[in-house]
Amino acid sequence: MQEERLMTTREVARYLKVNEKMVYALIAEKGLPATKVTGKWTFPRHLVERWLDRQTVNHPGPGTAGGPGHGLIILCGSNDILLERTITLFNRLHPDHLMVMADIGSMGGLRALGRNQCHMAASHLLQEEGGEYNFSFAREELGQLPAVINFCRREQGILLARGNPKAVTSISDLGRPGVRIVNRPVGTGTRLLLDRELIRSGIKGEDIAGYDREFQRHLDVGLEVLAGRADAAPCIRAVAGLLGLDFLPLCHERFDLLIRREMFFEKGVQLFLGLLHEPDFHTLAAELPGYDLSLSSRMVFPRDSVRTEKMEKP
């Protein structure tokens, strides 16, 4: 194994200029990224370097979240119509703050969070085993789990032309001759879901007409279907309701907000999370099909009271 990939306890101690006993304390108390292989601790070097960057205070570089002035809240990650409308509502209700959103996909949001370029990341990445969202991806990018708050649950599926003229009733029908799709970019949770469903159906994406035509937002793929330039697209149900299109449901997914622990108690972040309890937010969701707020605003991680105490503001 190359030295730049994995480090031993002794190598990490030399790298951090501490003794080996302190390394074990950093694992337990400060979240130093580590894993046990055959009973011995090993340390992925790139995660150790990211962890060290996160411990640096008063960093002068351009990657510090918060921007040029107080009150700026940056959210990066997955595109969502309800989230966009909630940000607009937040900016109207809290004029002393400004919240901005970068639609760069779930993986892009996690990477931005790992580089300390944003306060929150929006993500809905389904893990390989299919039982949980976001955790393994967040650990890989951040070295440890941030706070995870549910924003909503939403319905994902395949958007279809009105009346479903191509008679698409399953994922396998996307591979039929004459069916054209448009797609979401690699790194988005919606693309990840589509690719997994295609694999299960034994279909290669490159064999589908339009598979390589990518659009950044859910609404954009919906407009392509509405205009007749595509017969189908991976999308959320809300777009079908807005544009009057047909919809083939695939699953309900958890759409989460991931927040760095040191940013969790910033005033703007807390104001936004507080908005998830308000009637105005629930009214926005009720106007769009395919959303479920039964988990909204709940802390998904840490789950138990002991972990939650560690999140409490000093």
CATH number of the domain within which 299 lies: 3.40.190.10
* Nearest CA among 87, 103, 295 for reference residue 189: 103
280 and 144 belong to one structural domain = yes
pLDDT score for 48: 84
176 within some domain: no
43 and 115 belong to one structural domain = no
146 and 90 belong to one structural domain = yes
Q: What band does 311 get if pLDDT is binned at 50, 70 and 90?
A: very low
Query: What average pLDDT does range 39-43 have in this prediction?
Result: 83
In the structure encoding, which two tokens stand for residue 9, read together? Answer: 């306890």
Residues 6 or more apart whose Cβ sits within 8 Å of residue 78: 103, 105, 106, 109, 122, 123, 124, 188, 189, 190, 255
147 and 278 belong to one structural domain = yes
- Residue 129 in this model has a pLDDT that exceeds 70: no
Domain that holds residue 128: 72-155+253-311
25 within some domain: yes
Which of 26-40, 151-165, 168-182, 274-288 has the weakest average pLDDT?
A: 26-40
pLDDT score for 26: 85
28 within some domain: yes
Q: What percentage of the chain reaches a pLDDT higher than 90?
A: 56
Which sign does the torsion angle of CA 83, 84, 85, 91 carry?
Answer: positive
18 and 87 belong to one structural domain = no
Which sign does the torsion angle of CA 224, 227, 233, 235 carry?
Answer: positive
Q: What are phi and psi of 26, to 5 degrees?
A: -65, -35
20 and 144 belong to one structural domain = no
Instruction: Tell me the per-residue pLDDT of 201-229, one tens digit each, with 9 for 90 and over.
Output: 999 999 999 999 999 999 999 999 999 99
307 within some domain: yes
82 and 142 belong to one structural domain = yes
Q: Is 226 left (phi over 0), alpha (psi -120 to 50) or beta?
A: alpha
In the predicted model, what is the mean pLDDT of the chain? 85
Q: Which residue spans within 109-242 are E strands per DSSP? A: 120-123, 147-160, 232-236
115 within some domain: yes
Q: What share of the chain is helix, strand, coil (3-state, %, to 5)?
A: 40, 25, 40
pLDDT score for 135: 60
pLDDT score for 1: 36
298 within some domain: yes
pLDDT score for 114: 86
* Nearest CA among 77, 132, 148, 80 for reference residue 106: 77
Q: What band does 308 get if pLDDT is binned at 50, 70 and 90?
A: very low
Which sign does the torsion angle of CA 134, 138, 144, 150 carry?
Answer: negative
Helices (H), 56-104: 81-93
pLDDT score for 305: 34
pLDDT score for 27: 83
- Residue 250 in this model has a pLDDT that exceeds 80: yes
14 and 144 belong to one structural domain = no
239 within some domain: no
Helix (H, G, I), strand (E, B) or coil at 6: strand
- Residue 62 in this model has a pLDDT that exceeds 60: no
* 147 bridge partner residues: 259
pLDDT score for 255: 94
51 and 80 belong to one structural domain = no
Top pLDDT among 218 and 127 is at 218
Query: What average pLDDT does range 280-296 have in this prediction?
Result: 97
Q: What band does 309 get if pLDDT is binned at 50, 70 and 90?
A: very low
- Residue 155 in this model has a pLDDT that exceeds 60: yes
220 within some domain: no
DSSP letter, residue 97: -
Top pLDDT among 35 and 84 is at 84
22 and 150 belong to one structural domain = no
pLDDT score for 306: 31
Q: What band does 3 get if pLDDT is binned at 50, 70 and 90?
A: very low
Integer Cα distance of 80 and 90 in angstroms = 15
Query: What average pLDDT does range 120-130 have in this prediction?
Result: 75
35 and 147 belong to one structural domain = no
In the structure encoding, which two tokens stand for residue 245, read together? Answer: 């299109």
In the structure encoding, which two tokens stand for residue 149, read together? Answer: 């708050």
Integer Cα distance of 192 and 2 in angstroms = 30
- Residue 263 in this model has a pLDDT that exceeds 90: no
CB-count exposure of residue 285 (10 Å: 0-12, 13-18, 19+): buried
31 and 92 belong to one structural domain = no
User: Is the model's pTM score more than 0.85?
Assistant: no
Q: Whats the size of the chain, residue-wise? A: 314
Q: What band does 67 get if pLDDT is binned at 50, 70 and 90?
A: very low
- What's the total number of domains in the chain? 2
Q: What are phi and psi of 122, to 5 degrees?
A: -100, 125
Integer Cα distance of 34 and 179 in angstroms = 47
